[in-house]
């Protein structure tokens, strides 16, 4: 592969992702709204404060709260960088670096494939698969963690290859391990499970030096790796220590003891405990994890395996099973799968594993040409296929299949959104609700309790708080503790509407201001 090939692949990625990005006018769902909104906060207010509360795990005192106590900031930093560069806070400006990164994934993946196959056609095939990324396609052009995590994951394996190919005693190895630590640090600053990739880095060091495990070189490489990691993460850990008295916010550990996904929104946070987790019974604990395992297997085959390409990937893994990137990659895949299925099953099955899988996707795509090589060779040996002709036919078919799936996924999401609302209409309801509140009460600053606080605050600028999931007493407690003025209920929180309709504590404290059949707006009467 020549540099020109990689440049053409990169340019093709920019054209495809840039064109489809124009179809997405707004972030579309809570995660992307969160990171984009916090990017705006960073650019306009020059701080990381959040003017909303979307969970209560870290016992927030009052609005605004310190930002990124649960999710991590690198995605918002990228969004803010695009806004700073352009001088605009538009959604497209906030995605400039995401589009560039999405395009950058293409040549990185092609480079990995060229290493495994040593064939230009294999690299081009993989580049096509990275451009038309299947189930990931609608998410690589928005402000979510998919794009930076996939880009950094690709760099992780590319650096591993570069280090492996260096001549012995090359001084570049020491520089590369420092850079490797920076990449692992950025992955940790992107997602909580990014820290697992630090373990992947240590695994790479030990595997590359397995003939002499007890040596000063291994110790020095580990120090260099940790130095690079510390350059990225130490400022963030010091900030957390100043705020929380520890390098991690204390409430995040409660994720271990959820009994269902909605426990994430329990109030007060003290209701989440080890005893409560054990009280559900071992049968329920095991069943929930088996369910998560099954759902994550389906995600692995459909998203990671691009529905039909996983057999070719599996062949590629087997053919290259002794290669360092494959060993590290499969260990990381196993580790991530187990963490997202057994330790955090509810987050894992609700999209956590899908997000985590993105870091491994460049490696998985790069293995497809290896599997196709094996398939074509079988046809040559048993069916008199012609190698070049078969490669062109199957390679074109695979990219076309991925392209059709990607376009289908994009337009399906544009039409139906993530939660049944057309993608580009996801902020309209919040704006309409806020206009009704202002018209009927002339209250422009009162705090709203709603099911998607980051999205509501992004759309309206009004402070907002999550509706708790622990019953009517919790709703009243949140209203009093956080000075709530209004409650907005949609069809996703039908249980709250039922509680309001009953002759109970909520019915007497909330006055209906507005309803249109899909959303109900109440004023809280103290």
Per-residue pLDDT tens digits of the chain, which is 526 residues long: 889 999 999 999 999 999 999 999 999 999 999 999 999 999 999 999 999 999 999 999 899 999 999 999 999 999 999 999 999 999 999 999 999 999 999 999 999 999 999 899 999 999 999 999 999 999 999 999 999 999 999 999 999 999 988 877 678 888 999 999 999 999 999 999 999 999 999 999 999 888 777 778 899 999 999 999 999 999 999 999 999 999 999 898 999 999 999 999 999 999 999 999 999 999 999 999 999 999 999 999 999 999 899 999 999 999 999 999 999 999 999 999 999 999 999 999 999 999 999 999 999 999 999 999 999 999 998 888 988 899 999 999 999 999 999 999 999 999 999 888 899 999 999 999 999 999 999 999 999 999 999 999 999 999 999 999 888 889 999 999 999 999 999 888 777 877 777 766 777 788 889 888 889 999 998 7
The Cα–Cα gap between 395 and 331 comes to: 29
The Cα–Cα gap between 204 and 339 comes to: 20
Q: Spell out a b/e string for 476-489, using b for 16 or more CB atoms within 10 Å of the CB, else e.
A: bebbeebebbbbbb
Q: How much is the pLDDT for 263?
A: 93
Q: How much is the pLDDT for 418?
A: 87
Q: How much is the pLDDT for 19?
A: 96
Give the DSSP letter of residue 167.
P
Residues in Cβ contact with 152 at an 8 Å cutoff, skipping those fewer than 6 apart: 183, 186, 187, 190, 359
- Helix, strand, coil share (%) of the chain residues, nearest 5: 70, 5, 25
Q: Give the three-state DSSP class for 349.
A: helix
The Cα–Cα gap between 108 and 111 comes to: 5
Give the DSSP letter of residue 358.
G
Counted residue by residue, the chain has a size of 526
Q: How much is the pLDDT for 503?
A: 61
How many CB atoms neighbour CB 15 within 10 A?
Answer: 12
Residues in Cβ contact with 251 at an 8 Å cutoff, skipping those fewer than 6 apart: 57, 58, 59, 69, 70, 269
Radius of gyration of the chain (CA): 25
Laid out side by side, the sheet with 464-466 consists of 52-53, 464-466, 447-450, 484-490, 519-524, 510-515
The Cα–Cα gap between 181 and 164 comes to: 16
Cβ pair 322, 153 in contact under 8 A: no
Residues in Cβ contact with 502 at an 8 Å cutoff, skipping those fewer than 6 apart: none
DSSP run (H or E) holding 444: none
Q: Spell out a b/e string for 371-390, using b for 16 or more CB atoms within 10 Å of the CB, else e.
A: bbbebbeeeeeeeebeeeeb
Q: How much is the pLDDT for 508?
A: 79
pTM of the model: 0.96
Q: Are strands 484-490 and 519-524 parallel, antiparallel or unpaired?
A: antiparallel
Cβ pair 48, 41 in contact under 8 A: yes
CA 111 to chain centre: 24
Q: Which residues pair with 450 in a beta bridge?
A: 466
For 323, list phi and psi in degrees, rounded to 5: -75, 140
Cβ pair 473, 456 in contact under 8 A: no
């Amino acid at each position: 592969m020549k540099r020109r090939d990689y440049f053409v692949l990169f340019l093709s990625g920019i054209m495809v992702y840039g064109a489809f990005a124009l179809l997405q006018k707004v972030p579309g769902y809570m995660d992307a709204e969160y990171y984009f909104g916090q990017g705006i906060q960073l650019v306009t207010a020059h701080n990381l404060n959040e003017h909303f509360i979307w969970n209560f795990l870290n016992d927030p005192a009052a609005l605004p709260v310190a930002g990124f106590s649960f999710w991590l900031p690198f995605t918002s930093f990228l969004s803010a960088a695009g806004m700073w560069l352009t001088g605009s806070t538009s959604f497209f400006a906030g995605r400039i670096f995401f589009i560039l990164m999405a395009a950058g994934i293409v040549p990185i993946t092609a480079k990995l494939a060229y290493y495994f196959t040593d064939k230009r056609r294999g690299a081009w095939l993989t580049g096509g698969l990275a451009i038309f990324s299947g189930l990931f396609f609608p998410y690589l052009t928005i402000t979510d963690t998919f794009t930076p995590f996939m880009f950094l994951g690709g760099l992780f394996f590319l650096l591993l290859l570069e280090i492996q190919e260096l001549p012995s005693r090359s001084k570049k190895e020491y520089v590369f391990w420092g850079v490797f630590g920076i990449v692992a640090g950025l992955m940790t600053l992107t997602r909580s499970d990014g820290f697992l990739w630090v373990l992947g880095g240590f695994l790479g060091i030990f595997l590359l030096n397995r003939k002499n495990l007890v040596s000063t070189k291994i110790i020095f490489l580990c120090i260099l790796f940790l130095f690079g990691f510390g350059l990225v993460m130490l400022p963030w850990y010091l900030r957390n220590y100043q705020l929380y008295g520890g390098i991690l916010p204390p409430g995040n550990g409660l994720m271990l003891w959820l009994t269902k996904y909605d426990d994430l929104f329990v109030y007060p946070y003290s209701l989440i405990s080890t005893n409560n987790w054990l009280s559900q019974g071992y049968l329920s604990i095991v069943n929930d994890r088996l369910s998560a395992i099954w759902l994550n297997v389906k995600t692995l085959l459909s998203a990671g395996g691009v529905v039909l390409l996983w057999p070719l990937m599996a062949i590629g893994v087997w053919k290259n099973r002794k290669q360092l990137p494959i060993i590290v990659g499969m260990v990381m895949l196993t580790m991530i799968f187990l963490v997202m299925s057994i330790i955090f099953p509810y987050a894992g099955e609700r999209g956590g594993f899908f997000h985590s899988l993105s870091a491994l996707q460049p490696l998985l795509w790069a293995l497809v040409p290896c599997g196709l090589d094996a398939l074509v060779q079988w046809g040559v040996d048993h069916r008199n296929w012609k190698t070049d002709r078969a490669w062109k036919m199957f390679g074109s078919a695979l990219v076309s299949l991925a392209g059709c799936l990607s376009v289908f996924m994009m337009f399906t999401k544009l039409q139906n959104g993530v939660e049944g609302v057309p993608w580009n209409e996801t902020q309209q309801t919040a704006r309409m609700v806020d206009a009704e509140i202002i018209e009927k009460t002339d209250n422009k600053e009162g705090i709203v309790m709603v099911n998607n606080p980051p999205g509501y605050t992004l759309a309206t600028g009004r402070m907002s708080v999550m509706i708790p999931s622990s019953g009517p007493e919790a709703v009243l407690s949140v209203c009093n503790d956080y000075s709530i003025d209004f409650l907005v209920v949609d069809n996703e929180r039908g249980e709250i509407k039922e509680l309001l309709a009953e002759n109970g504590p909520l019915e007497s404290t909330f006055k209906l201001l507005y309803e249109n059949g899909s959303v109900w707006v109440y004023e809280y009467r103290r």
